[in-house]
Structure 1
Amino acid sequence: MAYQNKDITSKVLAEAFKGKSFRVYGLDLPEIRVVLPTNIPAVRVNELRLDNLFELADGTAAIVDYESDYKKEDKIKYLNYLTGIANRYLDEKRDCPRLRMIVIYTGDIKRKQVSPEYDIGAVKVTLEPAFLSELDSDRIFRQLKHKVEKKELLEDEDLMKLIIMPLSYRKKDEKEEKIRETVKLATQIQDRSQQLFTLAG
């Protein structure tokens, strides 16, 4: 489990949550219907790269980005993501769906630190943020441990919770301790495919 790299979390989300929802993050959104390519045609040499892009069941498209800190200038990056996706639909001669900009913050960031809007008059970007710091991680861990000890098959949402849980802690020593506990618990999962999936995350 390489929790220091948020790209792994985004990869896991893409693989695990086709047909699933964002409930694990506390977001009430339609379920994921299709995982879309994340490359954006960019005028600049440095090509923009999204963490995830999903088509949701209501026909909207959700750009998902993961952040371990909050910077106001990131909103320019999100604006570039949005215009890049709109341009991609234009290049493909398709109507651009309604776009959602979802930002998932690790436990390092609290809700009060974040402004979800970027308003410069003619353009207004509204984020749909999720905060892993708001997860009741200790309770979640106890529930998952109980299931594993009873040799129950875990749901997809359980697996995702197990993988993201250490990211919900703020202090480095807490994260490291939870990583150790999570790895230990993952090795006890009876279903081999679930065990390998969790450890690969």
Structure 2
Amino acid sequence: MKAIGLDLPPIRDMLPTVIPVAEVKEERIDFLFRLEDGSLLHLEFQTTAATRADMERFAGYDLKLLERYREIIRTVVIYSGRVKEAPVGFDGGSLVYRVTNVYLKSWDGEKEYEYLRERIDRGEELSRAEIVRLIFLPLMKHDGAEGEVAIKAAELAKRIRDEKQNLVFAAIIALSDRYMTEAQKKRLLEVVTMTQIEQWIREEGRKEGRIEGKIEGERQKALNAARVALKKGIMPEDVAEITGLSLDEVLAIRKEMGN
């Protein structure tokens, strides 16, 4: 089957220099890639046309990225096949913000799926551009729902025998909140069972559990210290400063103690 032509200039031109590691959900950003020239590619995914509030949110992300990295930032908004047009930014006076919109409405997802499936069936290695097309597959034009297509894309990715598999899984999982039901998310996790990405998810879950447990333990110590200090007659303002609790929390504790 002949490859489908994809009109994706802003990303297509960058693909040869993209480092295949994505920072996912930083400050709720969908994807952040560092390019080999040092610039940042900020991707946002939308299943509906962005509103002014969305644009201001994207701009806020980029300002934080600029403050942190001091690098050129290019923001591209990828729209699913349902969206035909969307705003490209806003004029806030001193702040004028612009993004590049990419529409998937003209991409035939069914043909693209068959093309990628045949490539994988033949045991051929997918190029970086084809990996991006596999990631975007659920957002292309399809007869079925995006969530079902995401599961099919993950099933294809499971047959990839190199490090690109992890990138596809990570991207689909990261974007699952956009278009997948809870039942579909559960099926997606079943697809990634026994893969490296599942091990990462479980490890991150264990780490978060340990961190949350440590934080909760430290907070409990602070609450106990506040109770002891209040019993000794120390002023609430001083207790708040000593324990790190807010004054409102200390006053609430004193009220519970009947003081």
What's the counterpart of residue 76 of structure 1?
Answer: 56
Normalised by the length of structure 2, the TM-score is: 0.49
Between 1 and 2, higher relative CO (CA 8 Å, sep ≥ 6) is seen in 1
**Distance 1:81-1:144 versus aligned 2 partners, 3 A rule:** same
Deviation at 1:190, TM superposition (A): 7.2
Question: Retained in 2: the 8 A contact 1:25–1:132?
Answer: no
Deviation at 1:99, TM superposition (A): 1.8
Higher-Rg structure is 2
What's the counterpart of residue 98 of structure 1?
Answer: 72
**Distance 1:183-1:76 versus aligned 2 partners, 3 A rule:** closer
Separation in 2 of the partners of 1:191 and 1:122?
50
Question: Retained in 1: the 8 A contact 2:25–2:31?
Answer: no
Equivalent pairs counted in the alignment come to: 162
**Distance 1:175-1:79 versus aligned 2 partners, 3 A rule:** closer
- 1:113-152 correspondence runs (5 A): 113-152=85-124
Q: Which whole-Å deviations, capped at 9, do the CAs of 1:59-100 have from their partners, x for residues lacking one?
A: 3222222222222210110121122122324xxxxxx22221
Higher helix share: 2
Percent identical across equivalent pairs?
Answer: 20
Deviation at 1:180, TM superposition (A): 6.3
Structure 2 gap segments, 5+ residues each: 1-5, 170-190, 198-259
What's the counterpart of residue 141 of structure 2?
Answer: 169
**Distance 1:161-1:119 versus aligned 2 partners, 3 A rule:** same
Deviation at 1:174, TM superposition (A): 4.6
Deviation at 1:177, TM superposition (A): 5.8
Normalised by the length of structure 1, the TM-score is: 0.61
Structure 1 gap segments, 5+ residues each: 1-22, 41-47, 90-95
Deviation at 1:126, TM superposition (A): 1.0
Question: Retained in 1: the 8 A contact 2:108–2:142?
Answer: no
The SS at the match of 2:52 is coil
- 1:54-65 correspondence runs (5 A): 54-65=33-44
Question: Retained in 1: the 8 A contact 2:90–2:97?
Answer: yes
CA RMSD of aligned residues (A): 3.6
Question: Retained in 1: the 8 A contact 2:108–2:141?
Answer: no
